[in-house]
Structure formats: structure tokens, C-alpha cells
């Protein structure tokens, strides 16, 4: 047995994050770890990665107990991790990030940039990762940032590879390439611990599934012997109707209208409408959102809000107009990692809680706590560092921040990335509730099923331009994919 965990427990102040977890995993296996947000998946991964030390229990590799006291020790024991949140350094190149802390040297013992680039190129070619080793990471798309993380993990002589939501930002071809890489690594005898909320992925590539709930192991089963509904039932403790989508509201007046002077197709968002935005990675979905909030300029774009032309110069300026953006990359663009959950939640609405320039902390705490309770946040305290929370709960805090701004237009860019099935349903119902209150919502997602379930109307982008704009009940997944790939008739 390559990996065995016995009675693993981890306590934090006021929180029992993991309790008595046992499970085994073999070489040459893809072993999926699933569970709702706060179930203990992140804690278990951090224990195996050397980030945390267990309060109780032990970890065995090749039947020998190991003390994974640091990430470096974990790597030396053959454990590599690709986290959902990226850790690359933007100012360095792809090659420098791949070999960060393990830079190759020449015969003289001095760092060899030539060898580093050559070795990086060899890894990228070996695993068919479409990256330029000389590119600065800060110039890469979110999807390519994920590929850098994967390349770094594969550059180490690992026997256990932990992948945390690795396809959340990858296009379909990139996902298929990743699955080919995983299959190759499996055939070479590597153990892949695969963390994902996407049931189709779990059933496509995993051999066994371990389900966690509330810090405890519920069961480990052969993937072939169980259904997605069974897994969801174990994850959340009850059944959920996955087929239930949002019912379209009767559309109201136009809230936001976007037009272009250079003949590009524009669009409108109506009061109480959820407008989905589809397209392949690189199609320009996020760029469109960033233009609407003033992060990127487009002199040919006119933005009309409630009949008045506006020109947001910054996210703060956009918020003053009632346009609020939920970023797709919460680590780099959304979180203040050194601040508490409460401070992260109230950061964009401090004027609401201030009087004569002084922050009224009582009002801030009351409003922040109320919105987090409404979003069912799982945390030991609103004063805990937000970096201690799972990815899904961090996302809830950012959602709370947006809601405290009382948006008239809410732009959600991949809002369910890294969020479990139950939390996704909560987000859908939250969006529906906001739409019923008259908020116009722009919902960007890479998951086609999600767009059909959660949007009243759908824009499809291809190479930066809108190529389709129809109600979702007049579209099919095939038609959307044809438009997104530029192959529509």
C-alpha cells in the first residue's frame, strides 16, 4: 500500500477540522476525494502536503510512518500538490516558477538560466503543456496559470500527486489533455489524489472515491459501484434535485446597455434578468467584465445605465454607479489574505458603516455577520483569517462583500468555481432571489449545464465578439459550442 492514513485528526482553535479519518490508496490509482465545502478536504490535503501537522493520527508511505513537517519534507517523501489557488510568482518566467527553490546549476555550481529553460521546455514537451517557458507568469491567462502549477508538480520526482480542482479554469481541450496526462502518470505507477466537485470528472477518471462530511470519512467506494446521486447524498446528508433549474422571471426595464462604435454587437441586461455569458477560454468573457468596471479601457464601448451614459474609471467608481464585480481569481484579485473574514466581507462598503470619517465597528460587525449568516459561511469566527477558510467559504465571503454594496448590476465571473454541489444550489438560489428583487445579473461560467440551469438568456463570445444572444430555452449545448468555436452556420 503506497499511502495509508490512520486516525488522522486536526484541531484548530474552536474548530475540529478533521476527526479520526482512515483511508488507504494504492500506486497506479486515481483516488477521488469529495465533500461539501468545510468537509475537511483542504485540511487533509494540507496535512499530506506538510502545511499542517496532525493533532492525532499518523501517515504512512510504503508502510513506513512519516512526519510531513513541512512542504519541503513532503516533496522529499514524494508528495506534490497542485492547489486550487495559484502560488506562482507573477514577476518570474514560466521556467523560473517551475524550478523555484530547485534552480538547476551548471558545472561551475552557478545558476544556469540556459539549463533551466532547457529543462522546463523538456517538461512542457513531455506532458504536452502549451506554454512558453520564457513568458512572464503575469502575462498568462488563468487557464495557463493552472498549467504552470501542474508543470511544477510534474517536475519533481513524485509518487503521490494531489490535484485540487485542477480543471476549474481549463477549456475542454485542456481538460482532455490533463486527463491524458493523469492516465499516463497512473500507468507509470503514480497515485493521483483528485479533489473535484465535478461529478462527470470523478466518474470519468477515478478508480475509487472517498467521501468526507463535517471532518469525518463517510465511506470509500469503487467508482464503478456507485452513482452520482449516492455520492451527493453522502456529501450533504440528504438528496438534492440536480435537474431543477431557475425559472425565468418576467423581464423588466433595461438596466444596462452596452454598445460599440466599431460595429461589434452589443447587448442589454434587463431588470430581474440573469444573463449568462459563455465562450471558450480566451474568448474575452472576463475582459468584457473588466471593461465594464474600468479595469480595462475600450474607447469604442459605450455603457448606458438606466438611460444615462457612464464611464467607470475604476472598480470603486463602478461600485458608486451600482456595478459590482465578483472576480474569477479570488486569490490575486479578491482576497486580502492577511485580514479577517469580516474585514474581507465589508471592504467595499466601509462608507456605509462610517460617520464623519470614522468607522462604526459595531455597525460593520452586525452587517458583516448578518450577510455571512445568510450565506451559511462555515468559519470558527468572523475574526478568523480568511486564509484559514476553504475555497468555497472564501468565495462566500467575497459574495457577501458584493451584496453589501447593494448592486444594481452584479457581474459574477465563475462564482461557483471550487464550490460543492450543495453550495452551488445555494448560489443559484441567491442569484434568483437577487433577480426577483430587480438586480440585473451577468453570470460568466465555463460550465454549460450551469448556464442552462441558472440563466434566462445567454450571450456566446468568440474571439472577443458576441456571436449569439438568445433565451436559453431557444439554445442547445451543441448550438452554443458551435457558436463558441466559430463553426456555427
How is the chain split into domains, by residue range?
3-236, 254-484
What's the CA gap between 340 and 332, in Å, rounded?
16
Instruction: Please state, in angstroms and as integers, the Cα–Cα distance from residue 393 to each residue in 17, 41, 185, 421, 427, following that order.
Output: 14, 13, 32, 13, 12
Size of the chain in residues:
489
What's the CA gap between 153 and 174, in Å, rounded?
17
Residues 6+ apart with CB under 8 A from 416: 395, 423, 424, 427, 445, 447, 450
Q: What share of the chain is helix, strand, coil (3-state, %, to 5)?
A: 35, 25, 35
Q: Do domains 3-236 and 254-484 have the same CATH topology?
A: yes
pLDDT, tens digit only, all 489 positions of the chain: 899 999 999 998 777 889 999 999 999 999 999 887 678 888 899 999 999 999 999 999 999 999 999 988 998 899 999 887 788 899 999 999 999 888 888 777 788 899 999 999 999 988 878 899 999 999 988 778 888 988 998 888 789 999 988 887 677 777 888 888 889 889 989 999 999 877 888 999 999 999 998 889 999 999 999 988 888 788 777 654 443 444 445 557 899 999 998 888 999 999 999 999 998 767 889 999 999 999 888 888 999 999 999 998 898 899 999 999 988 777 777 888 888 988 988 988 888 888 888 888 888 888 888 888 887 887 878 888 888 887 778 888 888 888 888 899 999 998 887 677 777 778 888 888 889 889 999 999 888 888 888 899 999 998 889 999 988 888 887 788 778 877 665
Residues 6+ apart with CB under 8 A from 143: 169, 170, 171, 174, 281, 282
CATH number of 3-236, picked from 3.30.1360.20, 3.40.50.300, 3.40.50.620, 3.40.980.10: 3.40.50.300
Q: Are 338 and 297 in contact (CB under 8 A)?
A: no
Q: Are 368 and 61 in contact (CB under 8 A)?
A: no
Grid coordinates standing for 312?
A: 467607470
DSSP 65-97: EE---SHHHHHHTTEEEE-SS----TTSBHHHH
Give the helix/strand (H/E) hosting 433.
helix 421-436
pTM: 0.60
254-484, CATH topology level: Rossmann fold (3.40.50)
Pick from 192, 235, 242: nearest CA to 217: 235
Pick from 87, 232, 84: nearest CA to 168: 84
Amino acid at each position: 500500500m503506497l499511502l495509508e492514513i490512520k486516525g488522522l485528526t486536526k484541531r484548530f482553535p474552536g474548530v475540529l477540522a478533521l476527526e479520526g479519518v482512515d483511508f488507504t490508496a494504492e500506486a497506479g490509482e486515481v483516488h477521488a476525494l469529495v465533500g461539501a465545502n468545510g468537509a475537511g478536504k483542504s485540511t487533509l490535503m494540507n496535512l499530506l502536503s506538510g502545511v499542517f501537522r496532525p493533532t492525532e493520527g499518523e501517515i504512512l508511505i510504503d508502510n513506513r510512518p512519516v512526519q510531513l513537517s513541512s512542504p519541503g519534507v513532503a516533496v522529499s517523501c514524494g508528495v506534490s500538490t497542485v492547489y486550487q489557488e495559484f502560488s506562482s510568482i507573477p514577476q518570474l518566467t514560466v521556467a523560473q516558477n517551475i524550478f523555484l527553490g530547485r534552480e538547476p546549476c551548471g558545472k561551475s555550481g552557478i545558476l544556469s538560466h540556459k539549463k533551466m529553460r532547457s529543462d522546463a521546455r523538456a517538461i512542457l514537451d513531455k506532458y504536452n503543456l502549451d506554454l512558453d517557458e520564457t513568458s512572464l507568469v503575469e502575462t498568462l491567462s488563468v487557464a495557463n496559470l493552472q498549467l504552470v502549477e501542474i508543470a511544477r508538480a510534474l517536475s519533481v520526482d513524485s509518487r503521490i500527486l494531489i490535484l485540487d480542482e485542477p480543471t476549474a479554469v481549463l477549456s475542454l481541450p485542456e481538460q482532455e489533455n490533463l486527463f491524458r496526462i493523469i492516465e499516463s502518470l497512473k500507468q507509470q505507477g503514480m497515485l493521483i489524489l483528485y479533489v473535484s466537485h465535478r461529478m462527470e470528472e470523478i466518474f470519468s477518471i477515478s478508480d475509487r472515491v472517498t467521501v468526507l462530511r463535517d471532518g469525518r470519512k463517510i465511506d470509500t467506494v469503487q467508482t464503478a459501484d456507485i452513482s452520482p446521486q449516492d455520492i451527493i447524498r453522502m456529501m450533504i446528508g440528504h438528496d438534492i434535485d440536480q435537474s431543477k433549474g431557475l425559472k425565468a422571471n418576467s423581464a423588466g426595464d433595461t438596466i444596462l446597455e452596452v454598445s460599440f462604435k466599431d460595429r461589434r454587437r452589443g447587448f442589454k441586461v434587463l431588470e430581474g434578468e440573469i444573463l449568462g455569458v459563455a465562450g471558450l477560454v480566451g474568448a474575452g468573457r472576463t475582459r468584457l467584465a473588466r471593461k465594464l468596471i474600468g479595469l480595462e479601457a475600450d474607447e469604442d464601448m459605450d455603457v448606458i445605465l438606466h438611460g444615462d451614459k457612464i464611464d467607470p474609471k475604476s472598480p470603486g467608481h463602478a461600485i458608486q454607479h451600482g456595478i459590482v464585480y465578483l472576480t474569477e481569481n479570488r486569490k490575486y484579485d479578491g482576497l486580502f489574505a492577511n485580514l479577517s473574514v469580516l474585514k474581507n466581507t465589508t471592504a467595499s462598503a466601509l462608507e456605509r458603516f462610517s460617520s464623519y470619517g470614522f468607522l462604526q465597528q459595531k455597525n460593520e460587525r452586525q452587517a458583516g455577520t448578518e450577510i455571512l449568516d445568510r450565506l451559511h459561511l462555515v468559519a470558527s469566527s468572523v475574526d478568523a483569517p480568511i486564509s484559514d477558510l476553504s475555497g468555497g467559504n472564501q468565495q462566500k465571503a467575497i459574495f457577501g462583500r458584493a451584496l453589501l454594496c447593494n448592486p444594481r448590476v452584479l457581474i459574477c465571473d465563475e462564482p461557483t468555481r471550487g464550490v460543492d454541489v450543495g453550495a452551488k444550489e445555494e448560489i443559484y438560489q441567491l442569484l434568483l432571489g437577487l433577480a426577483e428583487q430587480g438586480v440585473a445579473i451577468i453570470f460568466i461560467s465555463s460550465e454549460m449545464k450551469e448556464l442552462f440551469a441558472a440563466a434566462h438568456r445567454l450571450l456566446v463570445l468568440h474571439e472577443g465578439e458576441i456571436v449569439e444572444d438568445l433565451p436559453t430555452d431557444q439554445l442547445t449545448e451543441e448550438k452554443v459550442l458551435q457558436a463558441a468555436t466559430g463553426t456555427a452556420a
